[in-house]
Amino acid sequence: MPRSTPRTPKRMNEAALAAAALFYLSRYASSSGNLRRVLARKVARSAQFHGDDPAAFAPIIDRIVAYHVQMGAVNDALYAESQIRSLRRRGGSGRVIGQRLMAKGIPADVIADNRPDLKDPAEDRAAAILFARRRRLGPFRGSARTENRQRDMAALGRAGFDYQVAASIVDAADAEALECRGVG
């Protein structure tokens, strides 16, 4: 049964923040920027309720994040690589993956190191085929392909694939034609 009143936030101190960071990292893989953002949200919620100054916690958050980076619990490069692999398997375009990495607080230099993986046209085409198969677009659509061509092109465009890749997939004769090209 849901609570009728919201839970009051715990008053933050260094020990509580360290425990929160450890709890978060035990449940989720995270980048340093994302961990910093999670801890800052906890501090902001607590400070608003208890009337504390959230700016006083900035050096504490920096120390906690640096400690976890030093201990190896947070590794931005490994996190970026695993996110790229995971999102590619789900049919993510290089453009959208790059944006998601930036949103998760991955430093620009780490994203730049992985840029060849994100800019590879063969990888983007393979991901677009996976996306089209999952969403039943183009040759994976059961019927009414011509009536839904624009809708399928728009879906691939919103997913971050460029026009040429989207058109080559949506206009393919059938699913086997895509797979014969060595992809899928």
Q: Is residue 9 part of a domain?
A: no
Closest by CA position to 49, among listed 7, 97, 108, 5: 7
Q: Which residues of the chain have pLDDT under 70?
A: 1-3, 180-184
Closest by CA position to 183, among listed 119, 116, 131: 131
Q: Is residue 109 part of a domain?
A: yes
Judge if 48 and 99 occupy the same domain.
no
pLDDT of residue 182: 46
Map tokens 């958050």 to a residue: 61
166/125 Cα distance (integer angstroms): 8
Residues in CB range of 47: below 8 A, 6 or more apart: 12, 53, 54, 57
pLDDT of residue 180: 55
pLDDT of residue 183: 45
pTM score, two decimals?
A: 0.78
Q: Containing domain of residue 107, as a range?
A: 76-119
Judge if 174 and 138 occupy the same domain.
yes
Q: Is residue 8 part of a domain?
A: no
Domain stop point among 36, 53, 71: 71
Judge if 134 and 162 occupy the same domain.
yes
Q: Is residue 3 part of a domain?
A: no
pLDDT of residue 161: 94
Q: Is residue 4 part of a domain?
A: no
Total domains in the fold of the chain: 3
DSSP letter string over 89-118?
HTT--HHHHHHHHHHTT--HHHHHHTHHHH
Judge if 138 and 109 occupy the same domain.
no
